């Protein structure tokens, strides 16, 4: 992710759902978050990131429509990317 994410770009992370691996009881429950990254090449990419609850510190809340609407538009236009694409591979 560090290779293609714009270091000075605006990135957004928000929790989407609780993720449980019932077939792996040794893995703790995690927050599956949506991560919207500003990319160095321009545009934005959307991917999923699992975060342990104790590592997740909520950021300030979007409090107005004027503040949230631009982020919503970025999300609508973002390309869904996988780990390979974030690491410089051509895989979607």
Beta-carbon contacts of 6 under 8 Å, excluding residues fewer than 6 positions away, are: 37, 38, 39, 40
Q: Provide the number of structural domains found in the chain.
A: 1
Structural domain includes residue 3: no
Structural domain includes residue 1: no
Structural domain harbouring 23 = 12-86
Structural domain includes residue 54: yes
Using the Cα atoms of residue 78, residue 80, residue 86 and residue 90 in order, give the sign of their dihedral. negative
Structural domain includes residue 42: yes
Structural domain includes residue 91: no
Structural domain includes residue 18: yes
Q: How many angstroms separate the CA atoms of 52 and 3, rounded?
A: 24
Structural domain includes residue 76: yes
Tens digits of residue pLDDT in 23-34? 999 989 998 988
Q: How far is CA 49 from CA 19, 46, 64, 69, 89, in A?
A: 11, 10, 26, 23, 18
pTM over 0.85: no
Among 28-32, 73-77, 86-90, the minimum mean pLDDT is found in: 86-90
Structural domain includes residue 67: yes
For residue 46, count CB atoms less than 10 angstroms from its CB and return exposed for 0-12, middle for 13-18, buried for 19 or more. Answer: middle
């Amino acid at each position: 992710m560090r290779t293609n994410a714009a270091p000075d770009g605006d990135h957004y992370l928000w929790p989407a759902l609780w993720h449980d691996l019932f077939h792996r009881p040794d893995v703790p429950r995690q927050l599956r978050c949506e991560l919207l990254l500003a990319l160095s090449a321009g545009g934005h990419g959307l991917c999923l990131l699992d975060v342990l609850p104790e590592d997740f510190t909520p950021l300030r809340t979007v409090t107005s429509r004027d503040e949230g609407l631009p982020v919503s538009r970025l999300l609508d236009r973002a390309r869904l990317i996988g780990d390979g694409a974030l690491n410089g591979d051509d895989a979607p």
